[in-house]
Structure 1
Amino acid sequence: MLKQLEQAALMAGRAIMDVYEAGPSVAYKDDASPVTEADERAEAIILDHLVRAFPDIPVVAEESVAAGKVPDIGSGDFFLVDPLDGTKEFINRRNDFTVNIALISGGVPVAGIVYAPARGVAYTGADGVANRLDVSPEFQIVAREVISVRPRGEALVGVASRSHNSLETEAFLAENGISDYRSVGSSLKFCLVAEGTADVYPRFGRTMEWDTAAGDAVLRAAGGVTVGLDGAPLPYGKTNQASDTDFANPHFIAWGSR
């Protein structure tokens, strides 16, 4: 399973970098969020790969959902795909945009990959094992290293969104005595906690499940957890929500060692 996700992400990353180097053209969706041809090309590659490899597992993908194509996930397994997480970072030519692919089973992200093609690094998680992968300019995996969250110390290091910071996030950091924190785009924030670079990632802005599932899978495999403000693990496959749209997340906190 994970090998197939890695192959799909690497192929999508190659297409994304082709657009990145040529310079993307930008359009805007109904919710005013930006989209580029890189999002669309990467999603088409991932969908083609997943449908061929796993024809019986439905795929919920960001751009397809935006176009009104939402599969019936029922109560079984399904994939969540964000072909280009951090589109704003991509447009502004920062290197912390990612490809996100995750498998959800029983409402839990059980396998996932986060690939940052401009950084030449990817993170995977499945079966209680998380890895950091070094990826060559030829889009080949050249090294793997097992990663895990670090033991919690007295001074915590936080990581926060570069493009979606909030007063609630700043209040959380202050309340927990966190003066040392990094601002990073995309789902790499989960991965920094997973590899022990940071201890916590609070998110009080709006996110969708495809934004978080792959990073959450990596973090959980590395020994961390993502919880809602009620303290329960963040669930996936949230449809027919009275207070929000399908697949929308509540506010959450991603912790390393608690």
Structure 2
Amino acid sequence: MLKHICQLARDAGNHIMKLYFSKKLTYKFYKLDNTPVTNADHEAHEIIYKKLLLITPNIPIVSEEGFYNLKMIKGYKTYWLIDPIDGTKEFLKKNGEFTVNISLIKNGKPTLGVIYVPFSKVLYYSDSKKSWKSINNSYEKEIHVSNSKIPVVVISRSHPDVELNSYLKKLKNYKILKIGSSLKFCLIAEGKAQIYPRFGNTNIWDTAAGSVIVSAAGGQVRTWKGKKLNYLISTSNSFKNSGFCVLSS
């Protein structure tokens, strides 16, 4: 299963890169939450959606680019959760910091996670027991979190948190790295960063794959109240996550 999903993420990523290097996008508009969406998002969604139906026809799919009646999907215990392009703003800025996210949710918990970085052809993936990194579909290694005397704090490039400055004042020594998309999870999982504090809103498709990759690599993802992120869909909170912090220990 994991091998199939890894290849699926690569397939979607390859298509995204064709559009990334094209002279212009077919269309771009803004959603109600003022976030951009392009034909690349929708076409990647179609590729992933159709192939997931072939791989697991009996498992429902929830995607950022889908349209859902929350009352109908509230009872999903097992489902695929996908973000065809996490970091559309970075895609539009042409900085390469965007990813394809695919995760399998069971009973409110991510049990499989795949994050593909199309620009660099780097793949991160986990079966919830171990996490790996693959480069250019060949070199592969198991990854682990790593602590540091001067931790690297990764923060969003395009989504500033107003509470972030107060949090950083509590840290004595640290380095800041701004980066887009779920790459922040990946950097912690492979030991290149140690802290990712997030106070602002995120959606469940932004975090599910990254959560399982970090956890299996030895790190942790917790809300500011110390709880795990919950991926059981409810009609009350829609697809929103509460604030959280990703730590290497």
Corresponding residue SS for 2:202: coil
Provide the rounded CA distance (Å) in 1 between the counterparts of 2:57 and 2:76: 17
CA drift of 1:51 comes to: 0.7
Corresponding residue SS for 1:218: helix
Q: What code does the residue aligned with 1:144 have?
A: E
- CA contact 2:128–2:213 (8 Å) conserved in 1: no
Provide the rounded CA distance (Å) in 2 between the counterparts of 1:155 and 1:134: 27
- CA contact 1:58–1:73 (8 Å) conserved in 2: no
- CA contact 1:207–1:248 (8 Å) conserved in 2: yes
Q: TM-score, normalised by structure 1?
A: 0.91
Aligned residue in 1 for 2:48? 46
Aligned residue in 2 for 1:20? 20
CA drift of 1:69 comes to: 6.0
Structure 1 unaligned blocks of 5 or more: 136-140
Corresponding residue SS for 1:230: coil
Provide the rounded CA distance (Å) in 1 between the counterparts of 2:169 and 2:135: 35
Corresponding residue SS for 1:64: coil
Aligned residue in 2 for 1:37? 39
Tell me which of 235, 244, 249 is aligned to 1:252. 244
Aligned residue in 2 for 1:93? 94
Q: What code does the residue aligned with 1:127 have?
A: S
Corresponding residue SS for 1:202: strand
Q: CA RMSD in A?
A: 1.5
Provide the rounded CA distance (Å) in 2 between the counterparts of 1:20 and 1:211: 21
Provide the rounded CA distance (Å) in 2 between the counterparts of 1:73 and 1:52: 23
Provide the rounded CA distance (Å) in 2 between the counterparts of 1:209 and 1:79: 11
- CA contact 2:75–2:233 (8 Å) conserved in 1: no
Aligned residue in 1 for 2:60? 58
Aligned residue in 2 for 1:138? none
CA drift of 1:73 comes to: 5.5
Change (3 A) 1:13 1:69: farther
Q: Within 5 A, what are the aligned runs for 1:102-117? A: 102-117=103-118
Aligned residue in 2 for 1:149? 145
Q: Deviations over 1:143-185 (max 9, x none)?
A: 11110111x3432221000001223122212212243020000
Provide the rounded CA distance (Å) in 2 between the counterparts of 1:122 and 1:97: 12
Q: Deviations over 1:61-103 (max 9, x none)?
A: 00103xx466626252111100000000000101110000001
Matched, 1:219 2:211: no
Provide the rounded CA distance (Å) in 2 between the counterparts of 1:227 and 1:146: 23
Provide the rounded CA distance (Å) in 2 between the counterparts of 1:238 and 1:157: 33
Aligned residue in 2 for 1:119? 120
Provide the rounded CA distance (Å) in 2 between the counterparts of 1:171 and 1:189: 20
Corresponding residue SS for 2:49: helix
Number of corresponding residues: 246
Corresponding residue SS for 2:231: coil
- CA contact 1:15–1:42 (8 Å) conserved in 2: yes
CA drift of 1:26 comes to: 1.3
Q: TM-score, normalised by structure 2?
A: 0.94
Corresponding residue SS for 2:66: helix
- CA contact 1:156–1:177 (8 Å) conserved in 2: no
Provide the rounded CA distance (Å) in 2 between the counterparts of 1:238 and 1:180: 36
CA drift of 1:134 comes to: 0.5
Q: Deviations over 1:11-61 (max 9, x none)?
A: 110110011010323122222211111000000000001111011111110
Provide the rounded CA distance (Å) in 2 between the counterparts of 1:239 and 1:31: 19
Aligned residue in 1 for 2:2? 2
